[in-house]
């Protein structure tokens, strides 16, 4: 299973998509690649997210689990945004609702955005 999240840690990969597969870690610059994620589920650590929402320092607490990932040339996709920012809400947001645990057949990244198209 692959894990995808937006990397906010200091360093040369700041602002890149981080892809973890087992012990392997890859980074994709959103200006240079769009990702197509298949067999996805939104994962969140609600305890950590609630602490961040209340003012604690940000630490990794949410990601997208997916069966496969394809990196492509940067593209703009149509679709509904799937958002995560624990400062705004301590859960994934899709269609203005809590989307923690939601499964998607396909999600796509376009720049820094994650989009779902049903």
Average pLDDT over residues 5-13: 91
- Predicted TM-score (pTM) of the model is 0.93
pLDDT, one tens digit per residue, over 44-95 is 999 999 999 999 988 999 999 999 999 999 988 889 999 999 999 999 999 9
Cα dihedral value 49, 53, 57, 59, nearest 10: 20
Angle formed at CA 4 by CA 31 and CA 69, multiple of 5 degrees: 80
Neighbours of 91 (CB within 10 A): 20
pLDDT at 28: 97
Average pLDDT, the chain: 95
pLDDT at 9: 85
């Amino acid at each position: 299973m692959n894990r995808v999240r937006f990397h906010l840690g200091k360093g040369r990969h700041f602002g890149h998509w981080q892809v973890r597969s087992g012990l392997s870690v890859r980074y994709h610059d959103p200006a240079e690649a769009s990702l197509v994620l298949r067999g996805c589920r939104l994962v969140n650590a609600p305890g950590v997210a609630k602490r961040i929402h209340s003012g604690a320092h940000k630490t990794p607490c949410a990601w997208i689990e997916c069966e496969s990932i394809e990196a492509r040339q940067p593209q703009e996709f149509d679709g509904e945004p799937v958002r995560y920012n624990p400062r705004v809400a301590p859960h994934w947001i899709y269609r203005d609702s809590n989307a923690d645990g939601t499964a998607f057949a396909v999600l796509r990244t376009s720049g820094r955005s994650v989009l779902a198209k049903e």
